[in-house]
Structure 1
């Protein structure tokens, strides 16, 4: 890369991204409050891990509406399907003990399962077993409001014909994690919660963890809320006892989840080989990898490894993301299910805290300059220089400055064409999304910078 381009990128990165050692706590808090106000969610609680330590905890809003209870960093929320990685970790701990292997057939431990002699523990944790998901709905269906035993769930969804041949497809399924939880209990001789408390929560000092299966959380912990259509907030239905076992059974503070995230990044609880297994994507019979490991989603975004999982129960949402190489993690919990406030908060905090990729950093700088009515013509090709007439630049300044600060930049595409690199993004502002595009020549000159409203 040319010296010119490196110098420019360094300057833009300094503008766009805070120093690693400086957590912008006021900006984090402002983002949380802004999203709460816009979404109408009663409360949000957030933990930020940076450099492998808890760097910031914040909670805002109401944990309960009637009678009112203010959310604090001690407030516990159901973490829903984020619980799955703890069930998978329990299996790995037993494997480390030499008591089972991931490739053991599930029928060795749980009787009368469909194809139990062929489907393995790895299959159920990878969501490739073929067992039908017992809860694909986004609401609590009538039967689910009543208590259920493990056999009730298995008889209805894992002792029936497979939805697809094992390892030929990936389909998310809560059912497989019920099977895995039963294996933990059978092999360890303890309840799943007792095993996890002794082997995971206590060693990591996750002192706020409780179970969220047998009954609703009580005050001062968060109550769960929903909306029907665009109506008022209403108390959400609670799943009957037994339905959340091993798949969505835990409640905790974001700080507790942060301690778990740190342990994964440091391999301080699970052995490094077990962390590698936990984060290794499943592979289908075709050889095609999936994006799901053992209770964790794994991906590469903007060149960075990400381990993540969301969680949704009736009236609560969690978003947990780990960037292991950057030693950064975000845990966001909200007590409503009718919007994606938790993901909006996580997206915006990631945008704030992660260094931008090179072309994204350039785009951020160009948008900021254009909003101020300026552009560095020494960076432009002759074509781009001619494009930015005084009228074009004035229109960019008038329209962009009215939008306020840039909230998020989402990559939508990238390619090479005509000897140039191309990148496109959605630029998200308050109440407005723009499409933006960037074309650059091999010597680092800008051939195209364009933006317009996205319909």
Structure 2
């Protein structure tokens, strides 16, 4: 007897399995909202299941699985199931290299010729550059589908011989370009220096120490019938079982699989310097610069970014055939979001973004609607060159001289009608309330920085390009 796919896919797989003491960190309304976010996202049919884990205040606060690990035969997903995490593996490879730095066995500034002298321009490229995607080695796996040749087994040596000895795509350090080849090189360096297989080193120095018992190296361990089935869709067609990369194709670039909870345990350890020393963690999560001084938004195995609201975010996505992952950390907030799926598309990104918005939603601010309305009103008035000075403090009145008003009107009127205004953040400073707004007009999107006095008057109104 077959179970209805639709009946199961859009319902929760099971109740959370974490102790109540852990789950209590998230309010019941928040848990219900998270469940609704994931359940709704699965209705897009890009993935049949999702497994998530939430870290709050440095603790595992919630773990849940939704939908189907297998469509036919129908099998529910559970939080205990491991999913392939793809390129989120790179965090572990970078951490392994940093542990060897701590051991005094190598330096990030060592030339790779010390370890792999036969590779292209090995005397000009550093360990740091292969981890930071600035070395110039051509990516051996840029495609988002499984090419026929990649369904067959390979070896690490073959990957290095075929892609590590080609001419560089650019001068080392001059450009950022994502390269799985760089991580194959990094993985082999870890093995040469440690005297262990990459899997054994990561297991002994990282995952076993964190009690991450679900972790497997998919290059060495067969994917079993108890694990989730990966799925892909052609265009907008139905989900169909996906194949898998041949042995060693993803290796150091994306070979690990684990539960969402175990990946969350790694996030906690990374934010709290449990495995890496603080200096190493800082190195891993510091943006690398190109030789021109341009930023890359990438550390070592992690993207390093700041949200529009000013929140520090470390993140990485992962993709292998039939699976997607998104791992996002907010170190200053001691929070992390893990989303793993057994399908393609943007489900993991969508769920992460919506949970992020939920967890960091601003507290209720009764003055916010009034402030937004005043900001809109004054903006429109300044476009016309006729501001209502009764809305302003004495200081802002002085700021808006005839020349300043003329400059505001001349530059803002051509932007056209205001289409939307959104408050991005608010905070207190010097007895005032600072509010930053994003203003979308017919012509462009800009930002307005305001300060409000306790009696509600505008004490600052400065317009910035987006």
Normalised TM-score (structure 1): 0.77
Aligned match for 2:321, one of 314, 325, 342: 314
Q: Do the aligned partners of 1:78 and 1:251 also contact (CA within 8 Å) in 2?
A: yes
| Greater Cα shift, 321-330 or 232-241 | 232-241
Q: Do the aligned partners of 1:439 and 1:446 also contact (CA within 8 Å) in 2?
A: no
Query: Which residue does 2:120 correspond to in 1?
Result: 114
Report the Cα offset of residue 29 of structure 1.
Answer: 1.1
Q: Summarize deviations over 1:125-154 as a string: whole Å, max 9, x none.
A: 000000000011111112111111112111
- Residues 382 and 211 of structure 1, relative CA distance in 2, 3 Å threshold: closer
Partners of 1:382 and 1:287 lie apart in 2 by 38
Query: Which residue does 2:349 correspond to in 1?
Result: 343
* Gaps in structure 1 of 5+ consecutive residues: 1-18, 367-375, 388-408, 412-419, 427-434, 448-455
* Gaps in structure 2 of 5+ consecutive residues: 1-23, 382-421, 425-434, 459-466
Report the Cα offset of residue 20 of structure 1.
Answer: 7.2
Report the Cα offset of residue 40 of structure 1.
Answer: 4.5
Query: Which residue does 1:328 correspond to in 2?
Result: 335
- Is 1:237 equivalent to 2:254 in the alignment? no
Partners of 2:366 and 2:185 lie apart in 1 by 48
Q: Summarize deviations over 1:367-420 as a string: whole Å, max 9, x none.
A: xxxxxxxxx599647947999xxxxxxxxxxxxxxxxxxxxx897xxxxxxxx9
Partners of 1:194 and 1:441 lie apart in 2 by 55
Which structure has the greater CA radius of gyration?
2
Partners of 1:157 and 1:446 lie apart in 2 by 63
- Residues 364 and 138 of structure 1, relative CA distance in 2, 3 Å threshold: farther
Report the Cα offset of residue 289 of structure 1.
Answer: 2.3
Query: Which residue does 1:186 correspond to in 2?
Result: 192
Report the Cα offset of residue 189 of structure 1.
Answer: 0.9
Report the Cα offset of residue 67 of structure 1.
Answer: 2.1
Query: Which residue does 1:83 correspond to in 2?
Result: 89
The residue matched to 2:149 in structure 1 has which SS?
helix
Q: Do the aligned partners of 1:438 and 1:446 also contact (CA within 8 Å) in 2?
A: no
- Residues 108 and 439 of structure 1, relative CA distance in 2, 3 Å threshold: closer
Aligned residues: 379
The residue matched to 1:246 in structure 2 has which SS?
helix
Q: Do the aligned partners of 2:423 and 2:436 also contact (CA within 8 Å) in 1?
A: no
Q: Do the aligned partners of 1:410 and 1:425 also contact (CA within 8 Å) in 2?
A: no
Q: Do the aligned partners of 1:106 and 1:117 also contact (CA within 8 Å) in 2?
A: yes
Query: Which residue does 1:22 correspond to in 2?
Result: 27
Partners of 1:438 and 1:289 lie apart in 2 by 23
Query: Which residue does 2:181 correspond to in 1?
Result: 175
RMSD between aligned alpha carbons? Answer: 3.0
Report the Cα offset of residue 364 of structure 1.
Answer: 12
Q: Do the aligned partners of 2:184 and 2:251 also contact (CA within 8 Å) in 1?
A: yes
Q: Do the aligned partners of 1:75 and 1:221 also contact (CA within 8 Å) in 2?
A: yes
